[in-house]
Chains A and B, each alone.
Chain A
Amino acid sequence: MARGSGNRRRNPYWRILPASLALAGVIVFIFATHGPPASSSGFVSLVEGITEQFAPQYVEGKAHYQAIPGPGSWLFAFVVGMAVGGFIAGRTWPRRVADVPRIWKQRFGPSRFWRYLATFIGGFLILFSARLAGGCTLGLFISGSTQLAISGLYFGVVIFAMAMITARLVYGRAGRGKEES
């Protein structure tokens, strides 16, 4: 299991066991203080808040917006917090972030346009589908499986399988070099 010592020095990521224990602590804290954690609902809160500004009657007549509270809620505060947490983590990280990931560059070149277009489409797909299922990786797979819900386990198995197939089609043999992850 041990990596070469030179490799380990280059790997700045947290180890799996302590990191998963830490995140499980946060998740149990969230169940105790709020309920099941979720992040795709924060998108609904934001879209609802924006749409309400110019079409309040439309929002009132839409079941999906009526089911989820607007931006003045735990759900939206949580995703804003995620961005703040990502910001703090990024500022205290030894590596620079890339707008176009290395593996994408190896496969499709350095064009930002194509990468942004791909993530825009990917973003559309994950949110459209998460809202159909009622949750995402966090709100359905992680929250659901933690509560032993069959919906979470079912969703989890299928998203992993499909993401693995899609990544294979998108990247082919790119990213297989002996480089650090």
Chain B
Amino acid sequence: MTEIWVGLFSGIVFGFIIQRIGATDPHRMARAHLMLNPDIPMFMLLTVLFSAWGLWGLVSYGAGKEVILPTSLVATGGAAVIFGIGWGLAGYCPGTTWAAAGEGRMDAVAALLGGLLGTATFAHLHEWLIPRLYDPTNVGQLTLGDWLGTRLAAVLGLTVLFGGGALLIGRIWKEPPNL
């Protein structure tokens, strides 16, 4: 029972914060994708950057639970292509549909219903698709740490990558970031 309350609490705070940055507003999401307003992508990159340091601390302390998803060159990449098309078209990703539906956006309710159908369709085809698309090019649970030697080096590498990315977006996107 505790896990349900913890999940609910985590979701409430999460949903509240992403609404406050404007990620539940597809108008704002579209303008981020059109390289006009940089707030959402910079927010996402910095969130990952700070989270990676937080998790590094947590893991160093011996706490936290990690699950590294494998990389399948075809399935992960192909899925990302389809996902990007859906995200650019609707302006919603799976998490924001719930928060935006709660906010009262009816187009998010339609996205949520489409999402339920998409989920059911994939679950039905799982046994057929995974051995054909996912397994043949599954290169395993790779992490930056495997490439850079230590976890600390990997977090530093990620900091350079995501910090640099955020700076670049702040410069290239048309409007100034609301730092």
Contact partners of B69 in chain A: CB under 8 A: 133-135, 140, 144, 149, 151-152
Label chain B's interface by main secondary structure.
helix
Is A16 a contact of B178 with CB atoms below 8 Å?
Answer: yes
**Does A13 lie within 8 Å of B10, measured CB to CB?**
no
- Binary A-proximity of B45-76 (CB < 8 A = 1, otherwise 0): 01111111011011000011111111110011
Contacts of A164 on B, CB cut-off 8 Å?
A: 33-35, 88
CB–CB A27/B93 < 8 A: no
A80-B11, A136-B83 are known contacts. Are A146 and B52 too (CB-CB below 8 A)?
yes
Among residues of A, the one whose C-beta sits closest to the C-beta of B151 is A148
Q: Is the beta-carbon distance between A154 and B115 smaller than 8 angstroms?
A: no
Across the interface, do A3 and B83 meet the contact criterion of CB distance under 8 Å?
A: no
Partner of A85, one of B11, B145, B177: B11
Q: Check B51 against A73 for contact (C-beta < 8 Å).
A: no
Count contacts between A and B, CB distance < 8 Å: 509
On whether A149 and B98 interact (CB within 8 A), knowing A20-B43, A120-B110, the answer reads no
Residues in chain B near residue A166, CB distance under 8 A: 33, 84-85, 87-89
CB-based contact A119/B17 at 8 Å:
no
Cα distance, A63 to B129, chains bound together (Å): 12
In whole angstroms, how far apart are the Cα atoms of A169 and B72 in the complex? Answer: 28
Closest to A39 in B: B95
Let me know if B68 and A149 touch, CB within 8 A: yes
> Which bucket holds chain A's interface residue count?
35 or more
Q: Within 8 Å CB of B84, what residues of A?
A: 158-163, 165-166
The reply to whether B54 and A24 form a contact with Cβ atoms under 8 Å apart is yes
Instruction: Please determine whether B4 and A82 come into contact, CB atoms closer than 8 angstroms.
Output: no
> B76 touching A151 by the CB < 8 A rule?
yes
Q: Residue B106 at the A interface, CB < 8 A?
A: yes
Q: Are A16 and B55 in contact (CB-based, < 8 A)?
A: no
Instruction: Indicate if the CB atoms of B8 and A147 lie closer than 8 Å.
Output: no
A31 touches B89 (CB 8 A): no
Contact present for A120 and B27 (CB under 8 Å): no
The answer to whether A1 touches B176 (Cβ under 8 A) is yes
- 8 pairs of residues in contact across A and B, judged by CB atoms under 8 Å: A42-B94, A73-B7, A84-B12, A86-B100, A129-B81, A149-B143, A166-B87, A170-B88
11 more contacts with CB within 8 A, not counting A147-B67, A148-B151, are: A1-B170, A13-B20, A20-B44, A25-B54, A81-B9, A84-B8, A121-B114, A134-B70, A145-B48, A151-B68, A175-B34
